[in-house]
Structure 1
Amino acid sequence: MKNMTSQRGITLTSFLVVLIVVAFFLYIGMKLFPMYQEYYAVRTALKSLAKEPGVANMEPARVQELFFKRIHMSYSENLKPSDIKFDRIDGGWNLKVNYEVRRELIGNLDVVGKFDTNQDLTLRGAD
């Protein structure tokens, strides 16, 4: 008499379902990652700009030029000059960056990311 042992594991159908779910989430991640990578580049550029000597006394046009030089190094393509606002504060400027990124997801469905950040540009430097 043979000793029968039962085999355990997932079936081909179960494996395909798991593979499809993992592939879907990877696809979503591939659409979202560049948006957040760009946001991180914006935050880094703002912090770097806050450390720029004399930035609190510069005109907004010059500050905006320095900001876009830093952003273009990271190949940012979604920021426009109209997304940047300056407010006068004690001892410098408050630079606000508010922009939206839209990426096609599937067919006529899009994923939209809204990003809003600001940085004080003062004589004290970055806080």
Structure 2
Amino acid sequence: MHKQRGITLTGAILGMIVLAFFGLFAAKLTPAYIDFFAVKKMLNAMEAQGDTKGTVRDIRVSFDRRNSIEGVQAVRGEDLEITKEGGEAVITANWSVRISMIYNLNACLDFTATTAK
């Protein structure tokens, strides 16, 4: 007699449930990470184009102008922390996102994007 090998129906269903669970997490968390990378891209572009050399108000307006294109809802120009270090402006954006996953399970994500090297 040959021993049969393979996956059972129960094993396949459990495997699909686990994959669906992780797929749900990935689908719900992806927009928050897209916003994070968009903010980093905006800050890097501002630094590359010299928009960090103006006044605090100019920096905030420049960020808001770029944000109107990117459409990030979590961070606005007024939320930026702007400091001077070594004669250069350092722009930091800190924000938290709370995402409802399932029932009463939430994911709390803290993001920090900065122009500091």
TM-score range relative to shorter protein: 0.7 to 0.9
| Alignment pair present for 1:112 and 2:105 | no
Tell me the SS of whatever aligns to 1:95: strand
Q: What's the CA shift string for 1:92-124, capped at 9, x where partnerless?
A: 31111111111111112211110112115xxxx
Partner of 1:15: 12
Partner of 1:59: 55
Contact residue 60 and residue 78 of structure 2 kept, 8 A: no
Tell me the TM-score normalised to structure 2 length: 0.87
List alignment gaps of at least 5 residues for structure 2: none
| Alignment pair present for 1:102 and 2:98 | yes
Higher-RCO chain (CA-CA 8 Å, sequence separation at least 6) = 1
1:104 and 1:51 map into 2 onto residues whose CA distance is 36
Tell me the SS of whatever aligns to 1:7: coil
Tell me the TM-score normalised to structure 1 length: 0.81
CA gap 1:24/1:44 in 2 versus in 1, 3 angstroms: same
Tell me the SS of whatever aligns to 1:32: helix
C-alpha RMSD over aligned residues: 1.8
1:54 and 1:77 map into 2 onto residues whose CA distance is 21
Q: What's the CA shift string for 1:72-103, capped at 9, x where partnerless?
A: 32221111345311112333311111111111
Identity fraction in percent = 26
Q: How many residues align?
A: 117
Partner of 2:82: 86
1:55 and 1:112 map into 2 onto residues whose CA distance is 30
